[in-house]
Structure formats: structure tokens, C-alpha cells
Amino acid sequence: MAVDYEELLKHYELQETIGAGGFAKVKLACHILTREKVAVKIMDKESLGEDLPRVQTEIEAMKNLSHQHICRLYHVIETLNKIFIIMEYCPGGELFDYIIAKDRLSEEEARIFFRQIVSAVAYVHSEGYAHRDLKPENLLIDEDRNLKLIDFGLCAKPKGGLNYQLTTCCGSPAYAAPELIQGKAYIGSEADIWSMGVLLYALLCGFLPFDDDNMMTLYRKIMRGKFSIPKWLSPTSILILNQMLQVDPKKRITVKHLLNHPWLVQDYSCPVDWHTRYPIDHLDEDCITELSVFFKCSKKSMSSLVSEWKYDRLTAAYLLLLHKKSHGKPVRLLACAEKQLVSTPLAELKSKGNINFEDLEDDHPCMCGSLDFIDKCIFPESSPFTDISQVVKRVLKDSSEDNLQPSVKQKLASRKSGNKENIKRIKVNMNTNDDFVQPEAKTPVVQKSHEKKSMVTPRKNEDVLYKAVVNCYKETSINQDSNQDVPQEHTAAAFSPERRTRSLDMELHQGNGESSQKKKGGKMFGSLERGLDKMITMLTPSKRKRPFKDGPRRIKAQYNVTTTTMMNADEVLNEIIQILPIKHVDFVQKGYTLKCRTRSDFGKVTMQFELEICQLSKPEVIGIRRQRLKGDAWVYKRLVEDILSSSNI
């Protein structure tokens, strides 16, 4: 497994998970040479199974589609077991969250976004593709507040052109065109227009035109094509919605006619421009110069290498330099990158120590890669990793599981939730004129040397492990906090023993229960892995978290934060903790973050999201940051609203 990460970690520092799709995990990462942020979609080939063609489709489409409103592909790494897709990072998150935070958008704001959507879709269609899964969850907001279309896994490029019929029924039911759900052959572009109609309705109304918990009823509603018209919709909004949400695909407006539809042209007085502003046949002079200087080769040979568009590390370096340039940053690669980086022992830790890499990744927001291709134009493969596998093996052999279970002995502070009067929940209201506040980048803060203190007092086996790993990782500074002998994520606020057990069980994934053993596939190294996780976590300088006792994280107001006038973070936390089991939500508490999950009757995880109690400034209020990681966006919206309105916050 470790070898799978080798190539990735040579070029990127992995940070936290920002999302999870059906079969993929998406992580934030930093491109070492440019220090630019990227999103990495990580897929395990074996677990992909039947979905493998979907990934191939997505990669092919993203290689062919290059447009200012389509998420940019930088790099594809395929290893024995994994596929990594490295893409443009969009810090504004999903358009869906933006809509729900604002309830709905004004017609003016909806127009700004919808023009970009039409531009992207017209371009996609012009290239012979149909997207087939258009919805606000698949539109991300970048740092310039522009939309980027993602998720091309369901897209189709009919061999005979876009006017050829398709038969596969795919996409999300609420956005699916009537002809599609009837199982008829359909034209991809026509089905996309319907989905865009549903999307525009969601932008303008904040809810779906066709919605029902019961699938059959939902289908019936879609086939009838009748939707309610809220009073705030203008006549032109109603007109465009009616033209897009035509049950008969032949009567539906085409993308060509949308481009200069009165609703889209209003306030702009020009049609939507769908042409790409990223022509692949033009290379940027400055970026090529920097690359050729850096890799010590001629500009001519660099230009021809880049023009191959292999979506390898060179494509990534070029496109990320271009991204820097377009944001007024210096077109420079980090010449000293190789000195700043230490080779990572993580790969070795994993490869021979039977450790589950996925688990490690999650507790490990920043992993450094190494760079071995400076001064070379053609990149040789080499492994710079330190061999510490023997140490790890020994540690694994010498240690007994019991001593490593971290949280069972913890002392749970018990506080009563206090004053419930004068409680009001207010929303962070972001009108169109507000500054766009990006979700705070969770990039770990670089630790100053004088702040490096012990974080936990290592216990028996952890101690062994600790020393072993430390010996192998001499170049890395260690964060410890001698007065905190329980890992901070277990220092919970008050909740009942029953709930506590439930929460901790989930956190530990093991414990004594047979079922939890089974969940882990009978693996024996559960707690050792965790012990090792913790050690490696400590060894990562940037991972030093604020101790729980210091209170919640201080963040900027952002649109996925609901504020409360409730006085104190612990009380807010307790209130939510009380409500979650009532709403059948399992959770794991990590400091002020509640990692929540819902399951179907069959035990399948249907939804995964986080609620984090945080401290906002100006005004000094407590906020609840929410983030959906997995599951249906509208079901999530209702659930979170329900949780927040049911608790006394």
C-alpha cells in the first residue's frame, strides 16, 4: 500500500479530507514545487470494482475538457492499487451549501452563477459530451467566486455525436429528466437542460421543484412536470424555468437558445460566452521559461514536453504555475523545495507494518513527500524513503494491544447545560454585497520552535513505539504537551454513559466487542495502528492541535456556519450531543467537532457530516460549522436544520 503513495507524496503534501463520494475520498493537498493547493481524489482500485469504467470516463473527459468553469485536471497517478486524480482546489466548496446558507439566491446572484453554468454546459456539449449529473453539489466555488463543474464520472460522449441517443439511466433522481426516468432512449444534451432547469429553480427558490421521499411519487411529479411558483419569482424567471422544465424534450429550450435568453442577458446585454479561455495550443511564455530554468533544459524542449499534456508532474507544475500567474503571484518554482522536505518514513511504516493507510491518512493532515527530480528533465524513479520497517515490525511484535487503547480511562468533564432563556439562533447573513468569506483553510499552522511541547505523555507501549519512530525521524520536530495525558479528541464534555460508549466505540473501531472486530475485517492491529497513528501525528510538526481545554477553534464567519447567541461553546456542544441520538445520528467527538453518521436499516452509512462548535469574532459569538462529507445534499439539509432547531441553541 505504501508504495502506492510514494509517487503522490513526492509531489504533494496531503492534508485533511474535504469530502467523500461513493467510492472516493477527496483530500486537500499542497503541491510542493509551487506551494499551490490542490484537491486529490483518492480511489482504491479493488474497491472500485464495477465503478472502474466510471473513473476512466471521468479522467478521459477531464483531459479533453479545459474551460474556465470546469474544475481543472492537473495530474493523474495510477499505481498498483490506487488511482489519484489531482485537481484544482475550490475553497468555496459546493454551490449547494452556498444556496442553503442563504436560503435562496437573489435573481441577480443566481444570474451570475447560472451564466457560468450555461457557459460550462454549452462548452461540454460543444465537445460532444453530456454531463448527466448536473446539480448544485457538482458545482464548486473557487477563490475568485467562480463556479467550476466537477464529477464527470457519469458523462457520455456518444460515438455518433451528441444527437445520438443514450440509454443508461443515471444521475440523481430529483434532477433526472422525465424521458430518462421512463427508461426511454434520450438525448444527453436535452436531459442536461432539464437538470439545469431543476438547478436554476433550486438557486432561485432554495428547494427542489420536484421532491418526495417516496421514489414513485417523485417520478410521478417529474413526469407531470408541474412545479410550484413561489411569489418572488419574476415573470422572466418563470418563463425560463418553464422552457427548461418541458416534459417533452423536443419542446425544451436548447443550450444555443439559452445563451441569449432574456433572463440570462438581463443586466449584461451580451450573450453567454461559452468558448474556452484555456486554449491548449497556447503555452505561457513565463511558465515555460521558469520550468526550463528549473529543470535545466531548453525552452523548446520544455514546450514540447508540456504540449504532450500527459497529466503527469510536468503538466501539474505547468498548470499550477499558470494558476499562480493568473493570481498575481510570482511564476516561481521552489528551488529549495528539496531541502525543506524530509523523506517520509510513513510509506515504510505502512508497507511492512500491516498498517491501514486509509486510517492513518485521516488522522494525519500533513504528510511530506520528497523530491528527487530536481535538475532532471526526464524523471527517473527512485525511492528516497528511509527503511524503518524493521523497527516498526519490532514495535508491533513487542507491543500488546490493551495498553494502547487511548481513551477508555479518560475523565469526562461533567457540565450542566445552563441558561436556556434568551436563546436565539441567527444565521450568518451574507447578502450579495458581503465580502466572500472563504471557508477557513485548515492548513496546519507552522509550529514555532519555542512552542514545541509534549502533547501526550507516552505510555508503556506508545513509549516504545514513540522512541522507535522518533529514532527514525530525527529530522522532524516533535510536539508534546506534558500536562495532557489523554489525547485531546477524547476529552469530551458531559454526556450520558450510554452515549459516551456509543461514541467512543465508533471512535475506536475495535474495543472488546466481537462485532467491532468484524467491522475491521478481523484485523488484530487496531489499537496498535492507532498508537502508531498518534505517534506519527505527534511527529508531524504542523499537526499540533489546540488542546481541547483551550476552547473551540476561532474561525471567520462563513456561509456554512450558523451562529447562536448561546453563551458558551461547551453548552452548545452538549445541547447538540443530546439531540444527535434522538435523531438517530451516530457521532464521534473530537474536541469541539462532532463527526456524524447516519445509517440505513441495513447498516450502510447513508450520510456523513461534521458539526464543529467554533468561536467567531466580530461579533464574538459561538458558531456551528457544518460540512457534508457524504450523502444526499437535501436530506442532509433537512437533517441538520432539524438537529439545530430541535436543540436549545
**Residues annotated as catalytic (active site), given as ranges:** 133
107, 137, 192, 533: residue in contact with ligand H91 (rule CB under 6 A): 137
Question: Is residue 100 involved in binding ligand H91 (CB under 6 A)?
Answer: no
Q: How far apart are the C-alpha atoms of 354 and 413, rounded to whole Å?
A: 36
Q: How far is the CB of 386 from ligand H91 (least distance, A)?
A: 32
List binders of ligand H91 among 22-51 (CB under 6 A). 24, 26, 39, 41
- Please tell me whether the peptide bond between 619 and the residue prior to it is cis, using omega within 30 degrees of 0: yes
Q: How far is the CB of 396 from ligand H91 (least distance, A)?
A: 34
Taking Cα atoms as reference points, which of 77, 74, 76 lies closest to residue 36?
74
Question: Is residue 65 involved in binding ligand H91 (CB under 6 A)?
Answer: no
Site residue total, ligand H91 (CB under 6 A): 18
Q: How far is the CB of 37 from ligand H91 (least distance, A)?
A: 8
Q: How far apart are the C-alpha atoms of 190 and 166, rounded to whole Å?
A: 11
For residue 381 the three cell numbers come to 524513479
Q: How far is the CB of 415 from ligand H91 (least distance, A)?
A: 33
Using the Cα atoms of residue 449, residue 451, residue 456 and residue 459 in order, give the sign of their dihedral. Answer: positive
Cα–Cα separations (whole angstroms), residue 265 to 125, 143, 211, 229: 20, 25, 30, 22
Q: Residue 30's Cα: distance from chain center in Å?
A: 14
* Residue 589: half-sphere exposure toward Cβ, Cα within 13 Å: 27
Question: Is residue 71 involved in binding ligand H91 (CB under 6 A)?
Answer: yes
Q: Report the interhelical angle of 569-582 vs 633-646 (nearest 10°).
A: 120
Question: Is residue 99 involved in binding ligand H91 (CB under 6 A)?
Answer: no
9, 122, 124, 140: residue in contact with ligand H91 (rule CB under 6 A): 140
Question: Is residue 174 involved in binding ligand H91 (CB under 6 A)?
Answer: no
Question: Is residue 21 involved in binding ligand H91 (CB under 6 A)?
Answer: yes
Contact 338, 370 (CB under 8 A): yes
Q: How far apart are the C-alpha atoms of 191 and 606, rounded to whole Å?
A: 27
Question: Is residue 635 involved in binding ligand H91 (CB under 6 A)?
Answer: no
Contact 573, 566 (CB under 8 A): no
Q: How far is the CB of 87 from ligand H91 (least distance, A)?
A: 5
13, 30, 93, 503: residue in contact with ligand H91 (rule CB under 6 A): 93
Q: Which is nearer to ligand H91, 21 or 551 (CB)?
A: 21
Q: How far apart are the C-alpha atoms of 457 and 246, rounded to whole Å?
A: 66
Q: How far is the CB of 55 from ligand H91 (least distance, A)?
A: 9
User: Segment near ligand H91 (CB under 6 A), from 87-95, 243-251, 315-323, 487-495?
Assistant: 87-95
Q: Which is nearer to ligand H91, 21 or 271 (CB)?
A: 21
Question: Is residue 175 involved in binding ligand H91 (CB under 6 A)?
Answer: no
Question: Is residue 179 involved in binding ligand H91 (CB under 6 A)?
Answer: no
Q: Dihedrals φ, ψ of 46, to 5°?
A: -65, -45
Using the Cα atoms of residue 631, residue 635, residue 636 and residue 639 in order, give the sign of their dihedral. Answer: negative
18, 191, 222, 455: residue in contact with ligand H91 (rule CB under 6 A): 18
Contact 99, 203 (CB under 8 A): yes
74, 84, 89, 548: residue in contact with ligand H91 (rule CB under 6 A): 89
Where along the sequence are the contacts to ligand H91 (CB under 6 A)?
Answer: 18-19, 21, 24, 26, 39, 41, 58, 71, 87, 89-90, 93-94, 137, 140, 150-151
